[in-house]
Amino acid sequence: MKISAWLPPFLTRRLAGRETLQRSIDNVSWLLVDQVVRMVAGLLVGVWMARYLGPEQYGWLSYAAAVVGTIGAFTSLGLNAVVVRELVRAPLAAAQWLGAAFFLKSLGAGVGFLACVGVAWLQPMPAAPMRLLVVIVGLGLLFQALDVFDLLYQAKGESRISAYVRIAACVLANLVKAGLILGGASLPLLAAAGVFELALCAAGWLWTGAKSGWSPGRFRVAGECVRTLLHESWPLALSGVAVYAQAYFDQLVIGQMIGSSELGQYAAAMRLVTAFSFLPMVVYTVAAPEITRAKRDNPPLYHKRLFNLYRLMGGLFLVTAVPLMLAGPWLAGFLLGRSYLPAAALLPWLALRLFFTNFGVARSVFLTNEGLFRFGLLTAVVGAAVNVALNLWLVPVLGVRGAIVASMVSFGVTTFALEGFQPLARFNLRLMAAAVFLPWRSRPRY
């Protein structure tokens, strides 16, 4: 099904004969549909689950997810972008690249699951039920090796297939979660329902792969491909670990130092805030190709479009964060119930994170076009280190508000403060500052 076929006639006529553009519109549209469906389903059922479990049990589940996510960030190896690139460059060697990726992802998943088991039983846990939850949630790592089929579809420009798989798995898994809640299911069963979604995705990849003539039996593990992936993906892997640490280390510290009930409050408020995180990605998906073309053809236009992207991200922050600050406490109380009143009080402060989320996504367009990947890695690692240090210092003193302060400072360091130490990034910092403080200008002045 092609979304471009649903466009108005005057747009359809303009797209006639432009197959590359039509394919791009279809891919972007399906990715956006996928994001929106999963966001809505996850928010509705996630809020219902938080209300059903209560702050303490929801805190246990959030802590287990943070532990597994941290381990998974270390074992995922950051392969995806490199694999897609090689599949586009050498489609005739797809079996070798897919085989190498599947081998490395399977190895990482196995090591990650064993690490989850080891952490669950060898490390002190804030509460006994978390040991079982870490193991259950960790099982999800074993299904993610089959995501290599998603990489194949990305390289072939068939993102709609990936969207079909993820949407179907999301809808079915959330229906199961709803049924379990209505049936009064226990926390471990609800945790297993989250793993069930990953299992459904894995089954979907196998089924769609077989329909398109691919199966794991066709993969070939070539040593040279394995070495290339490991050599080229390590900066991306390290960057992914740093980004995950910035986003979720606070939950580990809160769970260990304060308790699961406070973590449940914090995680519930975060779920309401992160529901809006897909919006900057929508803007990024639409704007990035046009900015890249301007970089190639017209540098002044490139600067103007980058400036306008920052202005748009600033405006997007205002239209999402301000309502959350004003009406968020009432909304959180209405959705989550009286047991989550502390979460309602946290929501206005957590909404400020959207500012750094929006500008961080927009900044990645600049880093990509200027080829500043090592600088981006450096800023991510420094920001993560600042986040870890501040959480360990502030959470015991200020509680969950210390975690909020730590995240704000660390994201500020990553997105803004370190730009002054790199010549090209200093120019970008001036663009971002102009977009924040002089948004009424139609073009940048620097």
pLDDT in tens, 314-325: 999 999 888 888
Residue whose pair of structure tokens reads 């010549």 in the numeric block? 423
Half-sphere exposure of 75 (CA within 13 A, CB side): 24
pLDDT band at 369 (very low <50, low <70, confident <90, very high): confident
Share of the chain above pLDDT 90, in %: 31
pLDDT band at 343 (very low <50, low <70, confident <90, very high): confident
pLDDT in tens, 125-157: 666 678 899 999 999 999 988 988 988 887 887
d(CA 127, CA 63): 10
What count of other Cβ atoms lies within 10 Å of the Cβ of residue 445? 9
Helix (H) or strand (E) holding 242: helix 223-257
Predicted confidence at residue 173, as pLDDT, reads 94
Contact call for residues 440 and 430 (beta carbons, < 8 A): no
Predicted confidence at residue 167, as pLDDT, reads 92
DSSP state of 372: -
Q: Which two tokens stand for residue 227?
A: 């070495």
User: With the C-alpha atoms ordered 20, 23, 28, 29, is the resulting torsion angle positive or negative?
Assistant: positive
Helix (H) or strand (E) holding 427: helix 423-437
Contacts 24+ apart (CB under 8 A), 182-190: 187/53, 187/57, 187/60, 187/61, 187/129, 187/133, 188/129, 188/132, 188/133, 188/136, 190/49, 190/53, 190/61
DSSP 3-state percent helix, strand, coil across the chain (nearest 5): 85, 0, 15
Half-sphere exposure of 172 (CA within 13 A, CB side): 15
Q: Which two tokens stand for residue 6?
A: 């649903």
